[in-house]
Structure 1
Amino acid sequence: MRLRTPADVFAYAAAENVTLRIDGTETQVRRPKVHRPGRCAFVSGRKKQNTMKTTTIRDSLGRTLWSGADRPGRMHDQTGMRTEGIAEQLRLHSQMKAEIDEGYRGLANEFPDQVSAPPKKPKEDAQLGEQCGWREMRRRQGMVTDGLLRVGRRR
């Protein structure tokens, strides 16, 4: 079965009761040629390199269900997700559940019953146990979002 659009993915997930994992990935690319319009749009703020971003939706087993269109690295994950219609699909499929990474926190705030995000970082003056707990919860959320079992690997 081919899932060509986010609408197909969400319809499939609703029918099969699948929890989706939504994540953005950055891929380093060569610097665009000189005098090309929009050349600076490819410089990622996080990686400080020329990148392209893609939104990827996986199922609970880590299988890729859909990979969105490539967009310049400077574009925020949240903006890319909205232009690809993922927020609209969550509105249409109110029973859907999704897990996301930190870049989509606005989506978790907008759909608190449907979307779960990793916990926010504790303040600098927080107790050591709270900071360690945050790191562990974030690590587990990352393993779930990536769809990978990282047995024996340190992060």
Structure 2
Amino acid sequence: MIISNRRITGLTADVIAELVAEIGPLWHERHQARLASRQRKRAVGAGAKPRLVFVDRLLATLVHLRHGTTHDVLACWFGVDRATITRAVGEVRPLLAERGCTVSPDVRRSLAEVVDHLGVTGKTGIIDGTEIRVRRPAAGRKDRDKFISGKNKQNAVKSMVVTDDAGRVLFCSPTKPASCADITHARQLGLVKLLAEGPAVEILADAGYQGLGAQTGGRVVTPPHRKFKKNAPDWYEEIYERQRKAHSSRRIRVEHGIAHLKNWRALARHLGRREHVSDTVQAIAGLLSHQQITDLKSAR
């Protein structure tokens, strides 16, 4: 029932089958290594067998990410203890995050691969930052203020998303505290160097990335600067608004891609530990991009 209904996991049965085949052996390998890494009185594999097989662990993680379902509810659903679900999500979520986004059937993971893919295909890339609300750090912590977003005045983390001109997610970065500026985050990810030394591509961005165009040889296109701050002529206002709207219309697809990410309830607001939010963001981005490319192949 869970596998056959896309509304429950957000994924089709074919994609779930591919996930089982891809990360199932990795989970089993790490599970065996963990059992063999500590002193034991019994041989590895002896004793009671796990009540939750890997497929159920994967499904529980997918439902948790898609709908934000609590571990207590999932424990009742799968007939196990709450600690078993917590352990299962903690084991499967990093494996999903490590997969990265599916740029094409044979290209995945890094920002450098995304830039090369855009250069080879001649497609336009679009970048934007998105914020996810998190719990406020405890009083007295020295880094308590760095999670406060200057834009929304809320405690949040930030991730940079790259889509193509159709809004398909190609890359989602690890998270940074929301006080980090969009342009600073892009520089820390090495985007400037990749564009300056890489293939000739066009990257659309909003005003938060103004300045990258000069550093990348014009490869990053941002909205036009406003030349008149006061008493602008009417003819200039008309030209400026036309250019601004034309740029906004071209880069709106990245907002659609981010909206698809936020449809997964775990990203609407992260209520868990902040240490896990980066894995959660990258796991969901990888799952969404995998489903998007599968839908694209099916439509052809």
TM range (shorter): 0.7 to 0.9
Q: Which amino acid aligns with 2:234?
A: L
Deviations 1:94-119 (A, max 9, x none): 41211111111110122243221101
Q: Do the aligned residues in 2 keep the contact of 1:23 with 1:145 (CA within 8 Å)? A: no
1:40-59 aligned at under 5 Å gives the runs: 40-59=145-164
Partner of 2:91: none
Distance 1:25 1:133 in 2: 29
Residue 252 (structure 2) aligns with: 146
The alignment's TM-score, normalised by the length of structure 1, stands at 0.85
Amino acid at match of 1:137: Q
For 2:255 and 2:204, how far apart are their aligned partners in 1?
Answer: 16
Match of 2:119 among 1, 14, 19: 14
Deviations 1:27-83 (A, max 9, x none): 232322223341100111222221211111110111110011111111111110011
1:148 Cα offset (Å): 6.6
The 8 Å contact of residues 97 and 114 in structure 1, kept in 2 or not, is answered as yes
| Structure 1 runs of 4+ with >4 Å offset | none
SS in 1 for 2:180: coil
Distance 1:58 1:148, change over 3 A: closer
User: Does the residue aligned with 2:130 lie in a helix, a strand or coil?
Assistant: strand
Deviating more after overlay: 126-135 vs 61-70: 126-135
> Does structure 1 residue 23 correspond to structure 2 residue 23?
no
Distance in 1, Cα, partners of 2:120 & 2:220:
18
- Amino acid of the structure 2 residue aligned with 1:141: H
Distance 2:236 2:133 in 1: 35
Instruction: Give the structure 2 partner of residue 96 of structure 1.
Output: 201
Amino acid at match of 1:130: Y
- CA separation of 1:133 and 1:48: change in aligned 2, threshold 3 A: farther
Deviates more, 1:136-145 or 1:72-81: 136-145
Q: Which amino acid aligns with 1:34?
A: A
1:138 maps to amino acid: R
Find 2:229's aligned residue among 123, 127, 130: 123
Could you say what secondary structure the match of 1:147 adopts?
A: helix
DSSP 3-state at the match of 2:213: helix
Counting aligned pairs with the same residue, the percent is: 29
Q: RMSD of the TM alignment (CA)?
A: 2.1
> TM-score, normalised to structure 2's length?
0.46
Q: 1:148 to 1:116 in 2, by over 3 A?
A: closer
Q: Which has the higher strand share?
A: 1
Q: CA deviation at 1:84?
A: 0.8
Distance in 1 (alpha carbons) for counterparts of 2:181 and 2:157 = 11
Q: Distance in 2 between matches of 1:41 and 1:92?
A: 32
Deviation larger for 12-21 or 29-38? 29-38
Partner of 2:144: 39
| Equivalent of residue 168 in structure 2, options 45, 63, 69 | 63
2 CA distance for matches of 1:149 and 1:94? Answer: 25
Bigger CA radius of gyration: 2
**C-alpha distance in 2 between matches for 1:83 and 1:149:** 22
What stretches of structure 2 of length at least 5 have no aligned partner?
1-104, 257-300
- Deviation of 1:85 after TM superposition, in Å, equals 1.0
